Structure formats: C-alpha cells, structure tokens
Amino acid sequence: MEILLILFVLGLVIFVLLVLNTLIKWIIKTKKRAIGVSASLLAVLVGFGIYQLFFVKLAFIQSKVYPDLYLVKNFPEEKSTLNAVIKDFVMRHVKTKPTTLRFYKYYKSYNPLVFGDSGTAYFIDNEEDLGGMVVEDLGMYMALKIATLSKTDCEDELGYCARLDYFEEGRKVKTHDINITVNYNK
C-alpha cells in the first residue's frame, strides 16, 4: 500500500513539473507575456505585503473551556515586541480581575491524518482529551508556550503581586515581577 502511495505522489510531482515547464516555456515565448506575468506576480507580492503589514492584527483568543488560557494569533516574530504586548495585556487584565493566565501561540493543524494533532486551536472549544484513540493534551504543545502569569505573595494587602514568566521552545527564558495596587471596591 505504501508503495502505491509513493508511486502516486511521485507521478503527481512529475505531472506538476511538466505542467510548470510547459507554462514557463509559454510565458517566456514573447517579451510581452513575460513582462505581464512578472508585473502580475509583483502586484500580488506587494498586495500580500500590504495586507500582512496593515490588515493582519495580533489577537488574544480566550478559551471557552479554560478561562485562564489565551491563544495569541498573528503574533510578531520579534520576541521583545511579543513580550511587551503580553505584558501590556496582563497589566490591563490584572487591574480588572487578578488571576493566573497562560499564553500559547495559536496553531491549527491541517494534518490530513485522522490520528494527527489538532493544534492549540483545539482548546478554544474543547477540553483536554487524554483517552481514546486521539489524545489532545496541552502538554503536547510546550514548544508553543509563550508566557504564564502566576500569583505570588504580596507584602501589601491592597496589591496584587504576580510573576510573568516568558518561554521559548518550552524553556523559561525571562521573568518579570508585577506589583499593582488594586482597588476592588469600584
């Protein structure tokens, strides 16, 4: 069965390469076509760049099942920018309702296999599934963990003290202590 699958994929790759070869020969046959296709590709690339730069926004998606779990979608690749955005989110969140929080990168798997992982997006609507044929455990995605906020002891009773730990590839790399005076009577 595996041999048939390998032969099918190999045949598909050869077919795609032949079609691409024919298409490239047709495009470069005349200078007008080559300029037109190049201009079209450039317009698509510029449009995609503008879309990514101005229209794709960072989003915090809260899990409906685990209220302390947030998935960060469209996050900046620069770690210091991502950490600053998370810290700002935590500071705003802690002022309204102090709690512990967990942040993971949003990841949705498009794996065609039935028994493959679903990604962290699974936990928006579903609890961890530790039994059965398919296992979905948040611990499987430790490499996608970004940060955790955990409450610590405070010397001042009117304040909220917490520790914000940042992670890269599942390892803690940075810690930030947070001390906020919170007025719960409002």
Residue from 119, 136, 127 nearest 71 by CA: 119
Tell me what pLDDT residue 78 has. 82
Segment 107-113 shows an average pLDDT of: 73
Looking at residues 67-82, what average pLDDT do you find?
85
Give the 3-state secondary structure of residue 180.
Answer: strand
- pLDDT, tens digit, 9 for 90 and up, residues 120-149: 888 888 888 777 666 778 888 888 899 998
DSSP state of 136: B
* Per-residue DSSP letter, 56: -
Distance (Å, whole) CA 106 – CA 124: 10
Cβ neighbours of 71 (radius 10 Å)? 24
Determine contact, residues 133/150, Cβ cutoff 8 Å: no
132-141: list long-range contacts, CB under 8 Å, 24+ apart. 138/69, 138/104, 141/104, 141/107
Residue 186 has pLDDT above 50, yes or no: no
pLDDT tens string 176-185: 887 776 555 5
